[in-house]
Structures are given as structure tokens and as C-alpha cells.
Amino acid sequence: MSYLTFRVEITRDESRPAGDITADITAYIDRVPETNEAEFGRLSRAAKGVWNSRLQFTGDFAALGEALAAIEAAFPGIAEIRCYEWTVDDETPVARPPLRRRGGKWLPDEAANT
């Protein structure tokens, strides 16, 4: 049985006064995400700890299309989404080409990870 979850994490850049928002999608392949704080099927505000967390919103999705739709609905101005893949054989997530919005579609930027 194969297991696949797309974890979306929306963070803000604390090094800039404007607090630029970035989005990451990690595909967990045959492994379960290490934390279960994310809600399934929608983005929700991330739990705050003692520190002022960079992580703002998080969510788990069964399909990439659902994850992209949730990001677009919450943050329509985002033009790039960083992507990672984390398989059961990897100790850490592996970076994949980011997705960039072109012509109303999200397409991988193959030149970014070469």
C-alpha cells in the first residue's frame, strides 16, 4: 500500500519589514509527516509556541491540485511555490524544481534545480 500526503506550509520572512509570504509543498511518499498539527483538506492557522513562529498556515492534502487550490485561495499573489519530496528512503526532504505560475497554470521551473 502506497501512502502520499502533500503538506503545505505558509511562512513569512522575518528578515524583511514587509514580511514576504512564501509557500512550500512537501510530498510525503510512503512516510507519515512527523507532526500531526496540520488539518486535512484545508489550510489552518499554525499553532503558536513560545516563540513568534515563521510558520503561519499549514495543511495536509491528498492531491497536489487540492494543495495548489488552497494556496491560491488564501494567497492569490504568490507566484512561486518551493517543492520538496520526502520518501521513506530519505533522511531529509529533497528539493525539487519550484512551481511558478505561468499562463494561469502552475508549472515546474526545471532550470531552478540544475
Q: Band of the pLDDT at 53, cuts 50, 70, 90?
A: low
Q: Which pLDDT band holds residue 3 (cuts at 50, 70, 90)?
A: confident
The tally of domains found in the chain comes to 1
33's grid cell: 509527516
Percentage above 70 pLDDT, the chain: 85
Name residue, grid cell 507566484: 79
CA distance 43 to 100: 20
| pTM (2 d.p.) | 0.82
Fill in the DSSP letter of residue 58: E
Specify the pLDDT at position 20: 80
Confidence of residue 96 (pLDDT cuts 50, 70, 90): very high
* Parent domain of 59: 4-113
